[in-house]
Amino acid sequence: MLKVAVLVSGGGTNLQAIMDAIDNKTIRNAEIAGVISNNAGAYALERARAKGIEARCVSPKQYDNRELFNKALLEETQKLNPDLIVLAGFLVAIPPAMVEAFPYRIINIHPSLIPSFCGKGFYGLKVHEAALARGVKVTGATVHFVDEGTDTGKIILQKPVMVEEGDTPEILQRRVMEQAEWIILPKAIDMIANGELKLG
């Protein structure tokens, strides 16, 4: 059974997609060991607790500097003893020490087709704003391994989503979640849990 730690900053829609996929057996042989958020007010923590999943907050505000926060984040994650760490809308740069501790065992969902609209500064609505400003006709989502860079790790899965006339960043964000993110993130976890994707 693959033990998964989910790291999330906000509402937890991708976390919900993972929990639903475990419930309906779209994800086989995996369980969520715990959820960690950098935001005490994240609705994702409520979603986890409602399912009886251990949920905790590790916020930079609790620490005097980034180094202490990074150390605490790593320690709290290690306490869950996960086989896989899933960044499901986690808006914190993963410290190099965590990448070293979990090589090829951290995956992220990014709301564009990497290498478009990714890297430093591209997160949340900003990705969709940039896609619309550029006038692309197709966007989508990417699941990738996390390395020391920002959105530079090896790509696992991608799914395209059409941009439609009259889209706002919010409308496009919702379509990308529904048509891509909530499909390929659970699929990637299932592939890893069942040996269809090699970690490394």
Active-site residue set = 110
Contacts 24+ apart (CB under 8 A), 14-18: 14/88, 14/89, 14/109, 14/177, 14/181, 14/182, 14/185, 15/44, 15/47, 15/48, 15/88, 16/47, 17/181, 17/182, 17/185, 17/186, 18/86, 18/88, 18/185, 18/186, 18/189
Distance between CA atoms of residues 161 and 183, nearest Å = 12
